[in-house]
């Protein structure tokens, strides 16, 4: 029916370092234009109906150009994905991350920011003009602003520096806010990795990490 490769449950990454290695390999395939498009066959879809065992949780920006399964060359059942504009954290996003760790026993959380991020741009514009957007857009900007402030205080006012700082702050906030996740990190069961994705090149570069990534 299909020659698409399928990752069996036996080969599933089960440690943070294995999960990180698999994601790096997938991103390299995507960058070089040789994706395998794994786990997208009709057979695999049927097998998954009885349960899921994703190996990485993503908390990324909603930007349409930053789709985790595509960028990391993964398929159905591989990634547990939570997205908000500017990857701003709130109680329900944290609850989803805790679900991935506690219920699905996923060993890795990836925070995925990117260049030319509209949410970061909006927060930088609000900082410079002193004018906040209306409606719930204000909530987004308010949650990115601490990252803008931290970056500006260091004299780093370029958008890419602010984007990296926002990833770093989001990684730190997840650990700080969620006791359940912090305990898993302390026990060596889980790692949080922060990445920024370059839209044109396709590369997801490491910003920071809390916990072991095996390198
Ligand atoms: Zn964005």
Residue 76 pLDDT exceeds 60: yes
Residue 148 pLDDT exceeds 90: yes
Domains of the chain, residue spans: 14-209
pLDDT of residue 215: 72
Sign for the pseudo-dihedral over CA of 170, 172, 175, 176? negative
**Protein residues within 5 Å, CB atom, of ion ligand 1:** 61, 63, 117
What value does the mean pLDDT take over residues 76-94? 98
Q: What is the spatial distance between Cα 21 and Cα 213, in angstroms, rounded to a whole number?
A: 8
What value does the mean pLDDT take over residues 13-28? 97
pLDDT of residue 11: 78
The highest-level CATH class for domain 14-209 is alpha beta
Ligand 1 centroid distance, CA of 162 (Å) = 12
Ligand 1 centroid distance, CA of 6 (Å) = 31
Ligand 1 centroid distance, CA of 8 (Å) = 33
Ligand 1 centroid distance, CA of 83 (Å) = 10
């Amino acid at each position: 029916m299909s020659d698409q490769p399928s990752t069996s449950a036996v080969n599933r990454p089960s440690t943070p370092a294995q999960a990180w290695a698999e994601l790096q390999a997938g991103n390299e395939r995507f960058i070089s234009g040789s994706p395998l498009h794994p786990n997208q066959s009709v057979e695999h879809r049927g097998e998954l109906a009885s349960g899921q065992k994703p190996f990485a949780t993503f908390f990324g920006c909603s930007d349409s150009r930053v789709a985790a399964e595509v960028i990391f060359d993964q398929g159905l059942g591989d990634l547990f994905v939570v997205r908000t504009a500017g990857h701003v954290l709130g109680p329900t996003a944290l609850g989803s991350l805790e679900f991935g760790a506690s219920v699905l026993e996923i060993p890795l959380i990836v925070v995925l920011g990117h260049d030319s991020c509209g949410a970061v741009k909006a927060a930088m514009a609000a900082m410079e003009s002193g004018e906040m957007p209306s409606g719930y857009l204000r909530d987004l900007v308010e949650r990115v602003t601490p990252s803008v402030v931290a970056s500006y205080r260091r004299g780093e006012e370029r958008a890419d520096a602010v984007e990296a700082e926002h990833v770093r702050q989001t990684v730190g906030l997840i650990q700080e806010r969620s006791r359940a996740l912090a305990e898993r990190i302390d026990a060596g069961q889980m790692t949080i990795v922060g990445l920024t994705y370059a839209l044109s090149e396709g590369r997801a570069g490491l910003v920071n990490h809390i916990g072991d990534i095996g390198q």
